[in-house]
Structure 1
Amino acid sequence: MVQKTNAARLLDQLKITYELIEYEVDEAGLSAVSVAKKINLPIKQVYKTLVARGDKTGVILACIPGDYELDLKALASLSGNKKVDTVPLKEVQPLTGYVRGGVSPVGTKKKYPLYVDERIESVERVSISAGVRGCQMVLSPADLLRATGGRCGNISRSN
């Protein structure tokens, strides 16, 4: 039985349908590509959540396809900032309540603005971290956006 996370409880409160998928955690393989293989989903459906800080808005979150990299200039433009940088790893847990490899855009300690790569609109179901390493949530992109107030834009580029 999969243990409910804060992110899952929040989706329950919003009456959003999702599936939890557990997988074996490997400290050396926390990448979204590795997770996609373990949960048997195409990488284009597995999104990773990155924590960034804008010069005007402060902390923001970005959700991008697992095999893409964040386009900081595009994220800055979409979020109304002149400059955006990812936050140092040591700040991720204090800001979000989540550890690296387990950051979910749902249920963070404080609700931060979320920007989601527009490629999400081309998939029927999306997999995101459930808030702990070793567990993914699979839901519709529309439900993810509804739960988070996320805004779509072209914020990533292929590696």
Structure 2
Amino acid sequence: MAKQTKTNAMRILDRNKVEYASFHYFTDDENTDGTLVARMNERDINLVHKTLVARSSKNELYVFVIPINHELDLKKAAQAAGEKKMEMLPHKDLLKYTGYIKGGCSPIGMKKQYATFLEISSELLGKVIVSGGKKGQIIEIEIHNLLSTVNGQLKDLIK
């Protein structure tokens, strides 16, 4: 069996002695979605969350972690961040600002620690699954551990 390569997100969790479970999945498809990832790893679809990066009208970046089967409400996102307006960061800019690519963007271990918000209804789940920092890698982590690692806040974010 090949040795698992640790991602930056995993190294940060290890360094901070935060418990998590990591799972791998194989994809050669650019359109692999969270539903398929959950099925491939026999995980509850409701736990799978996506990490989205948005930019305010003041050009500040913010990170939003929401369930994969929901859409980010940009008005609620702006309100959560104390901003007037918010728009999604174009995918082409994701690597430049976060160090991650689309499909492998983790809220943990970005180039800079941006203000991070987690959908408040997710708190009831107790844990979430987020990208592990590269395509083909996911991390299951308790919500309080994720929030403390990224200094995140729970907010109402979805439509």
**1:123: which partner in 2?**
125
Q: 1:101 & 1:63 partners in 2: Cα distance?
A: 13
Report the TM-score when normalising by structure 2. 0.94
Deviations 1:25-81 (A, max 9, x none): 142433222222222212210010001001236111100001111010000001001
Report the TM-score when normalising by structure 1. 0.94
The worse-fitting range, judged by mean Cα deviation, of 24-33 and 51-60 is 24-33
Q: 1:140 & 1:85 partners in 2: Cα distance?
A: 28
- Identity percentage over the alignment? 34
Structure 2 gap segments, 5+ residues each: none
**1:55: which partner in 2?**
57
**Corresponding residue pairs, total:** 157
Residue from 56, 70, 76 that aligns with 2:72: 70
Q: 1:7 & 1:13 partners in 2: Cα distance?
A: 10
Q: 2:32 & 2:66 partners in 1: Cα distance?
A: 15
C-alpha RMSD of matched pairs (Å): 1.2
**1:93: which partner in 2?**
95
**1:139: which partner in 2?**
141
CA contact (8 A) 1:57 1:80 kept: no
The Cα shift of 1:120 comes to 1.8
Deviations 1:80-119 (A, max 9, x none): 0110000111001111100100000000011111011012
The worse-fitting range, judged by mean Cα deviation, of 58-67 and 24-33 is 24-33
Q: 2:94 & 2:77 partners in 1: Cα distance?
A: 18
Structure 1 gap segments, 5+ residues each: none
**2:24: which partner in 1?**
22
- Secondary structure class of the residue paired with 1:12: helix
CA contact (8 A) 1:73 1:84 kept: yes
| Aligned AA (2:27) | V
Q: 2:119 & 2:59 partners in 1: Cα distance?
A: 19
CA contact (8 A) 1:65 1:119 kept: no
- Secondary structure class of the residue paired with 2:71: strand
- Secondary structure class of the residue paired with 1:69: coil
Q: 2:126 & 2:117 partners in 1: Cα distance?
A: 19
Deviations 1:94-150 (A, max 9, x none): 111001000000000111110110122111321110100001011100000010011
- Secondary structure class of the residue paired with 1:137: strand
Q: 2:107 & 2:120 partners in 1: Cα distance?
A: 15
| Aligned AA (1:70) | L
